[in-house]
Amino acid sequence: MDSKTVIGRFAPTPSGFMHAGNLLCAMLSYLSAKSKGGKFIIRIEDVDLLRCPRSAALDIIDTLKAFGITSDEPIVWQSERTAAYQAAAQKLAAQTEIYPCYCTRAELHSPQITRLPDGGILYPKTCKNLSESDRVERKKRVNPSLRISVPDEVITFTDGICGEQRQNLDKACGDFILRRSDGVYAYQLAVVVDDGESGVTEVVRGADLLYDTPRQIYLQRLLGLPTPQYYHIPLVCDADGRKLSKSEGDSAQRLLKTHTPQQIIGELAFAANVLDEPRPIDIEKLIPLYDARKVPKERIVFNSEFGIRN
């Protein structure tokens, strides 16, 4: 593969229907890669098979197709990639400390624990220095998760939309989970391994993942993988400022009952400053018009009569 080929991706978690925010993300990832003459791939992030039924994933793939968004490569399914995540976890263990954590959900969500902006917690290293006999004892009662030690060091990167970012992992999230207590590999690891293996050079995704990105950059460094160019796009919320949900009510399928794909694309393209006015359009026609510098930073408001305005 030409080392300069731009490769973008859309990586939905099929834990429900697609909403206008997911669709905007799919559109802009597609337009970003295609506007640079690059490839676009779809990856289904279904590591958690209990939350992510195959039917929901197939539904997303069909919805994307209705909007003219298809993958240039065979679709990657994370549920089939456990061996790759396991190999990466072993590689990480050879370079830094990975340790079992026996804390229960209730312990981790007690009022003394600091909450993170992304809904997670600042892990207080409770299980970091347990003795071997403590570990044996606790394992009798609790299946451990695996955590990776993070350095007390600032990670910086420049987001293509949100600009310069700095984060000290030790202060911002602490030692984070690589494998959950049910044996499922964590999103942070899976996303890095898969972006690396697919040669992804750019990641366009929702701003709710901006805070997680330094964790991913840390893993990329340890695994010897390049860091893609990140573009974190604004979230789409309802008129009350709430993030859209993946339920039927907010779904792209519901919009498709009353609007053509071209009308929906035109509205979203207008909201993202790709078009100067909302008008029905095929996604292919937007390719030459896309410019990441014009994408707004603020939240985009969506109302159910289908008006999307900044």
By CB under 6 A, residue 191 contacts ligand GLU: yes
Which residues contact residue 222 at a Cβ distance below 8 angstroms, ignoring those fewer than 6 apart?
A: 91, 92, 95, 96
Shortest distance, position 252 Cβ to ligand GLU, whole Å? 14
Are 57 and 46 in contact by the 8 Å Cβ rule? The answer is: yes
Report d(CA 256, CA 242) in Å as an integer.
22
Shortest distance, position 57 Cβ to ligand GLU, whole Å? 11
By CB under 6 A, residue 209 contacts ligand GLU: yes
By CB under 6 A, residue 12 contacts ligand GLU: yes
Closest to 299 in 3D by CA, of 242, 236, 239: 236
Number of residues located near ligand GLU, criterion CB under 6 A: 7
Shortest distance, position 99 Cβ to ligand GLU, whole Å? 25
Closest to 30 in 3D by CA, of 70, 3, 61, 66: 70
By CB under 6 A, residue 61 contacts ligand GLU: no
Which residues contact residue 6 at a Cβ distance below 8 angstroms, ignoring those fewer than 6 apart?
A: 33, 36, 37, 38, 39, 201, 202
| Closer by beta carbon to ligand GLU, 12 or else 266 | 12
| Closer by beta carbon to ligand GLU, 29 or else 35 | 29
Please identify, among the stretches 8-16, 51-59, 108-116, 235-243, the one whose residues bind ligand GLU according to the rule CB under 6 A. 8-16
Report d(CA 31, CA 37) in Å as an integer.
10
- Locate tokens 């053509």: which residue? 260
Are 181 and 143 in contact by the 8 Å Cβ rule? The answer is: yes
Shortest distance, position 191 Cβ to ligand GLU, whole Å? 5
Which residue among 7, 11, 18, 26 contacts ligand GLU (CB under 6 A)?
A: 11
Closest to 137 in 3D by CA, of 97, 102, 104, 107: 102
By CB under 6 A, residue 215 contacts ligand GLU: no
Are 233 and 161 in contact by the 8 Å Cβ rule? The answer is: yes
Closest to 245 in 3D by CA, of 69, 54, 20, 64: 20
| Closer by beta carbon to ligand GLU, 70 or else 258 | 70
Please identify, among the stretches 10-18, 63-71, 235-243, 254-262, the one whose residues bind ligand GLU according to the rule CB under 6 A. 10-18
Beta bridge partners of 158: 164
Count of other CB atoms within 10 angstroms of residue 75: 12
Please identify, among the stretches 11-19, 63-71, 133-141, 165-173, the one whose residues bind ligand GLU according to the rule CB under 6 A. 11-19
By CB under 6 A, residue 210 contacts ligand GLU: no
Which amino acid, one-letter code, is at 196?
G
By CB under 6 A, residue 45 contacts ligand GLU: yes
Q: Draw the binding track, 289-308, toward ligand GLU (x: CB under 6 A; -: no contact).
A: --------------------
Residues 98-157 that bind ligand GLU (CB under 6 A): none
By CB under 6 A, residue 252 contacts ligand GLU: no
| Phi/psi at 300 (5° precision) | -105, 130
By CB under 6 A, residue 18 contacts ligand GLU: no
Contacts to ligand GLU by CB under 6 A: 11-13, 45, 191, 205, 209
